[in-house]
């Protein structure tokens, strides 16, 4: 080890996916929490997506992620999270199999106006044994629900964390990520004991 190695060089790196349905706020979350300029692969939504992408509930959406979003956040001197935002449209889901490789956990971002769009992401991670936290993005126009109501509606295991967040707010997103890391640590502690 070099004497001049910074604490960032010694920090553990963890890959985290930010997933969920189309238009739920994945790109916004990665951008708001990332300490680096996020990499985005967004394209303009055109007439060609009519009949292919379901824009119900997100009619004002003008761009869409076609591959991934990438960002990084240092939670403390010993832990750096690398965030990979997944595309939300069904036609790009083949990328999820590649993106999940090496991921320690995931955030499933949910929108209570279209909660049914969360089932596919939850099923994806459950089938692969990837631990996740559900973060309900509290849109201004959405009805407020408790985390217990969301847990019941999504038929989640009692141990799966459900939190409320605002994907536009850095501190809110950071809190979601801390909840996920604490969940991962608790699961590791349980499996070792």
What is the per-residue pLDDT across 84-97, written as a single tens digit (0 to 9) for each? 999 866 666 778 89
Q: CA angle 36-166-50, nearest 5°? A: 85
For residue 186, the tally of other CB atoms under 10 A from its CB is 13
- Give the mean model confidence (pLDDT) for residues 152-175: 96
Pairing of strands 12-20, 39-44: unpaired
Confidence of residue 61 (pLDDT cuts 50, 70, 90): very low
Long-range contacts (CB closer than 8 Å, 24 or more residues apart) made by 165-171:
165/29, 165/135, 165/136, 165/137, 165/138, 166/137, 166/138, 167/25, 167/26, 167/28, 167/29, 167/32, 167/109, 167/135, 167/137, 168/25, 168/28, 168/32, 169/32, 170/32, 170/33
- 80 half-sphere exposure, CB direction, 13 A CA radius: 13
pTM: 0.80
CA 102, 106, 109, 115 dihedral sign is positive
pLDDT of residue 77: 86
Looking at the DSSP bridge assignments, the partners of residue 163 are: 135
């Amino acid at each position: 080890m070099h004497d001049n190695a910074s604490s960032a060089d010694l920090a553990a790196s963890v890959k985290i996916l930010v997933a969920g349905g189309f238009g739920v706020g994945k790109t916004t979350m990665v951008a708001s929490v990332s300490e680096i300029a996020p990499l985005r692969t967004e394209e303009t939504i055109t007439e060609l997506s009519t009949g292919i992408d379901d824009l119900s509930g997100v009619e004002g959406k003008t761009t869409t992620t076609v591959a991934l979003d990438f960002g990084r956040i240092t939670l403390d001197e010993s832990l750096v999270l690398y965030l990979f935002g997944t595309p939300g449209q069904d036609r790009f889901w083949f990328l999820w199999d590649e993106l999940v490789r090496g991921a320690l956990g995931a955030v499933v971002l949910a929108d209570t106006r279209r909660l049914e769009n969360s089932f596919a992401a939850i099923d994806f991670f459950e089938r692969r044994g990837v631990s996740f936290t559900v973060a309900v993005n509290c849109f201004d126009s959405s009805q407020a629900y408790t985390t217990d109501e969301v847990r019941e509606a999504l038929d989640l295991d009692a141990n799966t964390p459900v939190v409320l967040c605002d994907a536009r707010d850095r501190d809110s997103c950071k809190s979601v990520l801390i909840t996920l890391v604490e969940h991962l640590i608790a699961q590791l502690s349980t499996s070792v004991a």
